[in-house]
Chain A
Amino acid sequence: MNKSQFLTILRKKLSSLPQKERKELMEDYEHHYVFGQNAGKTEEEISAELGDPYEIAAELLAEYNRNRPTGNQNNGSRIMACIGLFILNFVVCVVPLGLSIWAAWLSLFASSVIIILSPFLALFDFLQNDYFGSSKLFATITLSGVGIMMAIGLFSLGALLKKVTVSYINWNMSIVRGGK
């Protein structure tokens, strides 16, 4: 690769940088060639020593963006992102929908706890009213078994809901931060 090939690639890849920055950087590399040639090297030798222009450009861009974290995400687009999320969250009802799903889950969970405990409630009933009904006891024990199965199902459903909720919240955060 000769000097002009190297510099052309670099200039093209750095086109997103502000004029002044780009000019300074290009000068650094152009001068490097001149100094190298004065020291008796060929353009090809100097290019080989410099390394891959694509890689150098990538590094320079990364360097530039690191110093200006808000540079490519101005406040205007950030506000737009917030408004968009607000509409999605409240007008399109993602939040109310999510909350009601969670409420349904919670109430199902509460009822499963109650029916798991129903044999004890039956015993309490017998003690309180001073009588014993075996059919009532067996019915509540059956119910308790159903409750345990229900609770197991609800646990995995809850884990799934939690995952969805967390990733939805993270997605919101990443959009506000400048979603990359």
Chain B
Amino acid sequence: MDIHIQFKKGALELCVLVLIHRKPCYGFELAQQVSQYIQVAEGALYPLLRRLVTEGHCSTYLQESNEGPPRKYYLLTPEGEQYMNAMIEEWDKFVTSVSKLLKDGAADE
């Protein structure tokens, strides 16, 4: 179970990068979008977004809204885009390798 959580946390970073690359999002919106694909504790998004900002992968801007508080939008910086691309490549390699391993194992049995 715990492994499962760590697993998702790692994937969450990639998902967030890809989503805000498509279009800038505010925290709540991002949480809704991520939840459509993977089940994750949405509260974990904010520590992650914070880290992405301090590491320079993301920047933020505020937009006033008629309903409710101002929305803090997150967008990808050029460095963040590079980081995302590198991560996608890593991810693809990783997934391919693990799938291959699983398949090789199944063939032996």
Question: A-side interface residues toward B, CB under 8 Å?
Answer: 25, 27-32, 34-36, 38-39, 49-53, 55-56, 59-60, 63, 67
Contact = CB atoms under 8 A, between A and B. Distances in A.
Interface residues of B, number: 21
| Most chain B C-beta atoms within 10 Å of own C-beta, residue among A25, A29, A31, A52 | A31
Contacts of A38: 67-68
B72 interface: yes
B51 A36 contact: no
Q: Is the interface of A mostly helix, strand, loop or mixed?
A: helix
A59 B5 CA distance: 13
Contacts of A32: 27-28, 31, 42, 46
B41 A56 contact: yes
Contacts of A27: 69
Contacts, number: 64
Interface of B: 26-29, 31-32, 35, 41-44, 46-47, 50-51, 54, 67-69, 71-72
Contact of A51 (B26, B42, B54, B67): B42
Given A35-B28, A60-B47, A28 B72 contact: yes
Contacts of B72: 28, 31
B29 to A, nearest CB: 8
B46 A29 contact: yes
B51 A51 contact: no
Nearest to A34: B68
A31 B68 contact: yes
A35 B68 contact: yes
Contacts of B47: 56, 59-60, 63
